[in-house]
Amino acid sequence: MRLSREKVNHLSKLILKDLLQDDRVEFYCDENDLRLEIVDIIKSELEVEDEIDDAVRRTIESYSKDIREGTDEWEILYHKHYNEETKKRRGMSLG
C-alpha cells in the first residue's frame, strides 16, 4: 500500500506529537530531526512491504495453474506466501 508524501508527513507529525506527550520518553535532539527520522522509518517500512508484495505476487504467478487475483484461492495463497516472506525478511509472522 503506497502512501503519499503528505500522508507520511502527517503520520510522522502524529507520532511525534504522541511521543512528545509521553512523559516516559526523553529527547536529546531537535524535534524536526526526530520527525524526519520517523519519516525515514515509515518510508523504509513501506519499501519492505512493497518488496514483500512483489515477491508474493511473483510466487503466485509462477504457479502452473492460472490463479486469478481476487479469487478465494488467490487470497489464501497470497496470505500464506505473504506470511512466509515476512517471516523470512523480518523474522516474524503476521496473523
Could you read off the pLDDT of 6-56 as tens digits, one per residue?
999 999 999 999 999 999 999 899 999 999 999 999 999 999 999 999 999
If residue 65 lies in a helix (H) or strand (E), which one and from where to where?
Answer: none
Into how many domains does the chain fold?
1
Asked if residue 95 belongs to a domain, the reply is no
Range(s) of the domain holding residue 77: 5-90
If residue 74 lies in a helix (H) or strand (E), which one and from where to where?
Answer: helix 72-90
Asked if residue 56 belongs to a domain, the reply is yes
Is the full-model pTM beyond 0.75? yes
pLDDT 10s digits, 50-89: 999 999 999 999 999 999 999 999 999 999 999 999 998 8
Asked if residue 12 belongs to a domain, the reply is yes
Contacts of 78 (CB under 8 A, 6+ apart): 56, 57, 60
Distance CA 8, CA 64 (A): 39
Do 8 and 42 contact (CB within 8 A), yes or no? Answer: yes
Closest CA to 32 of 40, 24, 22: 40
